[in-house]
Structure 1
């Protein structure tokens, strides 16, 4: 029977969770990793979704991730902490750091938690949304392996180091900025390569420093900083906070999870949690946020623009659509998941979407 390409998000999440459990990951940790991946797909950040399952599994099997390691608090006071992830999953380590940051912020008003010894931690939005549920503002950042040149350089030196900011609102969706410091996340180029698609000019350069629209050449070269020297500067401060300050890898010392099979990644993260109630009553804050967003949306629109959106709004709409109509996966990703599942006695076929199919004419909010 031919495999479908559209999958029920809950069944797919359980399938991924079961894969990790079969590989020896504790159930609670497997749920965190699977939830992180599926949330990315639901929100349209496919580059950080189940497409990462294959590389995560390979790194477990090659002992490049230790799913049994305990996340350790190395330094701590009332408002800050330094965690050592001891090479566990990035999303597991990140979740521990977030929990600690929120707990401290509720007691002290603000908290800062640095992390070393981690791995790729998924999307920053995954953590920001959990903080928003606790009426917290969260700033979270992470460094990454070398994929981007410094301004004026040719070869990769710094990561596409992501930055996310989550802020609650009232009647409106929350403000949720989640961005790479490159023109585009490298994961999107990986997805384009898997689909056999070209990439827009300006996303990347080849290994000789020439502009390219070939996804494979881009993966051998470098993605470009967002806004040139501005994106480079932001990426550098994220690397300093997440790597230099925490004792994690930084710059060329963050190991590539696709290429380095001798050493752990040693990724660093940095969490800043803020209790809104220390500034004003949360209800009043949310009312002010709603007014702010209302005013933005009431601004005159440029020709051809139907609506002014705020950061994160498009992703919330994608989530609604994909929960209703299923998650569409590229054929190569489906094949990878099928192969992994077969090794552990699991069938991706059972995760296929069985609800009402998306009909022709349904608006694709990702466009």
Structure 2
């Protein structure tokens, strides 16, 4: 593994709140997006690319996934300087065979590359009913649910498996040292007349590395059962993930999450991209993603009344007596939709460390972002 570049996780967690303090401050989504666009353009992105990446990051914040929001800029900026993230690249078709579509990203912004690759898969699925997408050589693609939403909005079903190629963060089940990435999975189903789109998007680790960064910025401990320290002992200190050597995240659901994480690396890494998360592909200064995805038209799936059957299933599951303290049974994607509505109205709550990071990155590039972040 290359050791010449600054660890991206450590870079993202190296900022302190400073004058912004330890509390949370709400920032309007449009102001935060404008600040991110200015930073991205100052770092070399064309205006169109800056808009796509900034909107993706802010959308993650709006949906409550602050681990994949504007805080990621602290990882992206050093990667650009080191030549590990290349602005203004686009998805390139590198192979087609029947339903199989292979797309390369040339280490470009994953938010652009994955969006374009997903659109190519949607176009093929519209024509042929099915696309099997292999996306390779892309920098961090961000919130994978975004591409599920892209497919569901086009009336398509998506099953996506992603591997994360950087320094390992997740211990195998019964292991004490990290060997795998947080390797997310997304399954998206389009909306019907009665049921909103179902968007299942989760990391196969018990928690994302970015959530440890957010907890550090807020001065909070993690919940029990999520982390191991450098000696392999349980800990609640999120800081262990940003030390050298680092601690480890535990897999989601023990052996089940470990199996899912491994299969993400098998499908997206070993089979689809020739970039599994092994030491020969790891670089301490970059975060690469590869994705194996199946995109298909549900109308061609053999059940013409799939929408009615889906509605019946969801209605049956919703009609479940709720546990004490719960208001209703929530479908995948509904908590994010509710959070988005709230944060659009009230602003996106950012911790002082994230605000200080944006301010510092702006000053390094001759930008004064204080008014936008106020």
TM over 0.5: yes
Partner of 1:36: 56
Equivalent in 170, 187, 209 of residue 165 of structure 1: 187
Q: Is the 8 A contact 1:194 1:332 kept in 2?
A: yes
Deviates more, 1:66-75 or 1:80-89: 66-75
Residues 352 and 14 (structure 1), Cα distance of their counterparts in 2 relative to 1, 3 Å cut:
same
The correspondence of residues 343-362 of structure 1 with structure 2, limited to 5 A, is 343-352=364-373
Q: What runs of 5+ residues in structure 2 fail to find an aligned partner?
A: 1-18
2:215 to 192, 216, 220: 192
Cα distance in 2 for residues equivalent to 1:266 and 1:66 = 12
Candidates 76, 86, 89, aligned match of 2:106: 86
- The answer to whether the aligner puts 1:136 opposite 2:156 as a matched pair is yes
Alpha-carbon offset, residue 139 of structure 1: 1.4
Seen in structure 2, the aligned counterparts of structure 1 residues 265 and 50 have a Cα distance that, compared at 3 Å, is closer
Q: CA deviation at 1:121?
A: 0.7
Alignment partner of 1:335 out of 356, 362, 368: 356
> Equivalent residues in 2 for 1:311-326 (5 A)?
311-326=332-347
What secondary structure, in the 3-state scheme, does the structure 2 residue paired with 1:114 have?
strand
Q: Shift of residue 265 of structure 1? A: 4.4
Partner of 1:363: none
Mapped partners of 1:350, 1:79: distance in 2: 50
TM-score (normalised: structure 1):
0.88
In the TM superposition, residue 45 of structure 1 has moved relative to its aligned partner by 0.5
**Alignment match, 1:226:** 252
**Cα offset, 1:285, TM superposition:** 3.9
Structure 2 residue 298 is the aligned partner of structure 1 residue 276: yes
Q: CA deviation at 1:112?
A: 0.9
Q: Deviations over 1:87-109 (max 9, x none)?
A: 11111221121011101110111
Q: How many residues are paired up?
A: 347
After superposition, the C-alpha distances for 1:295-349 in whole angstroms (9 at most, x for unaligned) are 2111122333221111111111000000111101110110111122223343333
Question: Tell me, which stretches of 5 or more residues in structure 1 are unaligned?
Answer: 354-367
Deviation at 1:256, TM superposition (A): 6.1
Equivalent residues of 2:163, 2:290 under 8 A apart: yes
Could you list the per-position Cα deviations for residues 131-175 of structure 1 after superposition, in whole angstroms to 9, with x for gaps in the alignment? Answer: 111011111221113111122221111111000111122333221
What residue in structure 2 maps to residue 15 of structure 1? 35
Structure possessing the higher relative contact order (Cα contacts under 8 Å, 6 or more residues apart): 2
